[in-house]
Structure formats: C-alpha cells, structure tokens
Amino acid sequence: MNRRVVITGMGAVTPLGNNVKTFWDSIKKGVCGIGPITAYDTSETKVKLAAEVKIDPSEYLPPADIKKMDSFTVLAMIAANEALEDSGISCDNADPNRCGVLVSSGIGGIKTIIREYNKSLEKGYDRVSPFFIPMAIVNMASGRIAIKTGFHGQASAVVTACAGSANAIGEAMRMIRHGYLDAVVCGGTESAIMPLTIGGFTSMRALCETDDPGRASIPFDLERSGFVMGEGAGILVLEELEHAKRRGAKIYAEVSGYGVTCDAYHITAPEPTGEYGSEAMRLALMDAGIGPSDIDYINAHGTSTPLNDKGETQAVKATFGKYATRLKISSTKSMTGHLLGAAGAVETIICALAVKEGFIPATINYRVPDPECDLDIVPNAGLQQSVKYAMSNSFGFGGHNVSLVISHYD
C-alpha cells in the first residue's frame, strides 16, 4: 500500500519576502516583486529589470559560513532553517537514517565560477579559492542541509532546469510513499542575477526588455514578450502521514500526485501542441486518484513568453476538456518573476497555502486578452474560494514537464 505524504514545514526566500508569512501576504495582496536591477550596472545592457531578493544573509547565518557558500546555497540554507523550525523535525524525534534531502538548482554556483575565473586571469589559476569547487557544484545545497540536520538518508540534487524543484518534490514524495524514507527536506534554490546569465537569456530572446515593472512579467497577456529573471529559494519538509502524526506535527497539505514527461522535441522551445505537458498533468491526476473535474486551481508555469503561455493553455484544454473553462489558472510569476530552479518549490508553497486557507492568487498586471490564452487566469485580484485540489505545473529547458497535485488535508 502507498503511504500518504504530507507537508509539515515550509521556508521561503523570495522577491516578495524572506519568510513564508511575508511572502504569502504579498501574494494575497498582489504585490509585484519586479524592479530595476541593483546587482550590477545595466546602462550598457538591454534588460533592466529583475525580481531580486532583498536580504542581508548575515542576519540569518554566521558570516564565516557565508564566505564558504555561493549565494544559491546561502538562500537554500536560510529557507531550510525556516522549514525545519516550522516542521520541528530533527534527529531527536526522527531516525536520521530515514530522513533525506533533495534540493535542486538550475544553474548552481555561477557567481562563484565567474568570480574565481576572473581572479585566475588576474592572479593565476593556482590562486583560485580552495572552496571554489564545493561552492560551485549544484549538489552543495543538499549537502549543506544534510550536514546541518544530520540526516543520513539519500541527499542529492535534481537538475532539470526550471522544472528542477518540482521534480525534487515529486521524487521526494515517491521516496516516502514507497517506504525508502520517512521524511525529506526538498525544494529548490537559485541566485543567478548577473551579467553573464542575463546576457545569455537576452541573446536567446527569452527575457522581457521593457523598463516598466508593471508590463514586464505579464503571463497570458497578448503583449507579453518574455520572462523576468527572479531569484530565491523554496524548501519544504515532506513527511509520511503517520510519522508526522506520531510526533504531533502540524500539517499544511498533502502531496498526492506527481506526473513527469519529456517533450523530446527541442533544447529550449516547448513542443507546440502541449501534448506532453498535458500528459504530465494527466499522469498527476491519475497518481492522485482523481479526475479532471476535481481540480479547483492550477498554478501555471506561466512564464510570460509567447510560446509557453499558448502551449500551456492548449495543454490544459487537452487535459481538462470541458472542465478547462471552469478552472481557475493563474501565474504567480507575474509577481515573483521566474525563479528558474526554485520556481516549482515556491509555487508548491503557494498551492499548499491555497488549499489550506482557501485563497486563489491572481495573475497581476493583466490588461490585453489573448484569444489563444482564453482560460480564467484570475486577472488582477485574488479570490477567497475553497480549494480541495490544486495543481502546480513546471516546465524546463530540455523538454522537462512536471505536474504536482496538492490536496487539502482534513
């Protein structure tokens, strides 16, 4: 028999706030976290906007530790500390051999790589920091969290671009469901707002180049022209239901469905018909043991690129048929920007709170309807509405498609 998997702790560092409460309050209010880039001088670059976090890591972690971590790991550690405190799980009330860590990042320690490369050009390769490799590698967020917790179960990193942290949550759910572990700290982290990465996405024509934050990340709007780079971390504690109940943990929601496919089509562009995004949603519904009419809300991948939003609309219609027009489907990337490898985890936190509190977030800054994106995208104002089942979609370069079903826990 499959074991039930619940969320018992959550932590977040986002452009809308550096803890879950502040972040969720901003989501409910429809706050836009996008603004002019402050990380570097943009006077000679096309892209002027991003969704940056506003945080002083020294308020959360020892400065000596921060110096030995890339910023993607720093953000993960801050979010993980919140999630662990929220959950209350530790080696004192759980078997450390039955607890694991699975944290994703799309790009990892790119800031450290560039900094140390520049140093090597100036001073020679033998002067590179001895911490360069362990700071740069993508699995180090998981490694650091495992060291922090003392958890000895599987600790690894899923790397599937913008689908990564959704994959991490889904794989963590499977580990617990099938009895390999009792609890997993999982999610994703990203900190890559810098000239090289912004320049790479700019050359691909993937980023919005407006200087108006209110018309930058506008998913499903006819005038959308690209995504806005974001940064942050989302970490969740998933736990087997009976294990959580035995230690008296509070329960936010249940992770009940996971569907994953690959377009096998193109390195960056989604498959035009949305067939395999649809299949991921269908598999998630089947895994959760529910039908299309049971879903109340979809947190869309909704990046604000012309191809993604059109393709996701087609995929939703193919999956939900006549029920598609009854669904509420919003993109909170209109507020957070696109957090790349952290997006799926942050959006799963949104879904967990949506089902717990009965609130559906808006797609903000929506003005011009697109006839090819004609579903109910909850324009500009969120809704108080009961949500029994929510779905979160995440799609990544390479054709990676992930759909999660988050259920109300009663």
Burial letters 357-377, b for 16+ CB under 10 A, else e: eebbbbbbbbeeebeebebeb
The alpha carbon torsion through 101, 2, 347, 204 (nearest 10 deg) reads 80
Crossing angle of helices 343-357/20-29, nearest 10°? 70
Neighbours of 293 (CB within 10 A): 13
C-alpha angle 238-244-245 in degrees, rounded to nearest 5? 150
Residue type, 340: L
Residues in contact with 271: Cβ distance below 8 Å, sequence separation at least 6, in sequence order: 263, 265, 277, 311, 399
Which residue type sits at 70?
D
Distance CA 72, CA 137 (A): 10
Determine the Cα–Cα distance for residues 184 and 200; give it in Å rounded to an integer: 34
How crowded is the C-beta side of 121, counted as CA atoms within 13 Å?
A: 5
For residue 79, give the amino acid letter: A
- Catalytic option among 32, 208, 301, 400: 301
Residue of 243, 338, 400, 408 marked catalytic: 338
Give one word for 289, left, alpha or beta, with left for phi > 0 and alpha for psi -120 to 50: left
Given 32, 162, 186, 208, the catalytic residue: 162
288 within 8 A of 256, measured Cβ to Cβ = yes
266 classed as catalytic: no
Q: How far apart are CA 117 and CA 109, in angstroms?
A: 12
Q: Given its phi and psi angles, is residue 150 left (phi above 0), alpha (psi -120 to 50 degrees) or beta?
A: left
Residues 6+ away with beta carbon under 8 Å from 290:
256, 257, 389, 405
Does residue 32 have an active-site annotation? no
Q: Classify residue 249 by burial, with Cβ atoms within 10 Å: 0-12, 13-18, 19+.
A: buried
Distances (CA, A) of 287 to 2, 282, 316, 404: 11, 9, 17, 9
Q: Is 269 helix (H, G, I), strand (E, B) or coil?
A: coil
N residues, the chain? 410
Q: Which residues are catalytic?
A: 162, 301, 338
